[in-house]
A = this chain, B = another copy of it.
Amino acid sequence: MTAAAETMLSIGEVSALTGLTTHTLRFYEQEGLFVEAVRRNAAGRRVFTEQEVGWLRVCAKLRSSGMPLPDIRRYAELVRKGAGTETARFDILRRHEARVQQQVADLQEALNVIQAKVALYADHDHLAAGSADTLWRDGPACTPARQVP
């Protein structure tokens, strides 16, 4: 840690850098998603560092892939606690990784169904308008979803 001055960023700048609205950034602070308490300047305004921008970008990726806020908060808490919490953090990430992979697989499956239908309609364009009535229900076998009784 040298004496180099850290770049100080306003909430608006951070918003521009992360794509998160200022509203969302305040909301995230409230939700405890930041690793360190957000600092304020003399006027009481939030001041961010580039490190925080980096973290927020990670957060954005986690969120966009469906990690719930409570999980991100927990991850942030572990980071705050520092050394000794690596395994727990690892766990959170691994679990989320599995979820995302499942999501991708599910989407791929849906994509198969959709693309098969698209192909049917595309074919139909080259044909007479006789078979059209059944296109909507044709397609690859859609497995009945698992029951959660």
Contact = CB atoms under 8 A, between A and B. Distances in A.
B51 A114 contact: no
A143 B57 CA distance: 7
A125 interface: yes
A8 interface: no
A38 interface: no
A3 to B, nearest CB: 20
A31 interface: no
A23 interface: no
A83 interface: yes
Nearest to A63: B110
A61 interface: yes
A125 B88 CA distance: 12
Contacts of A19: 144-147
Given A121-B86, A145-B60, A65 B103 contact: no
Given A18-B145, A86-B135, A104 B93 contact: no
A33 B82 CA distance: 52
A129 B83 contact: yes
A128 to B, nearest CB: 10
A110 B104 CA distance: 11
Which of A79, A90, A106 counts the most B-chain CB atoms under 10 A from its CB? Answer: A90
A146 B64 CA distance: 13
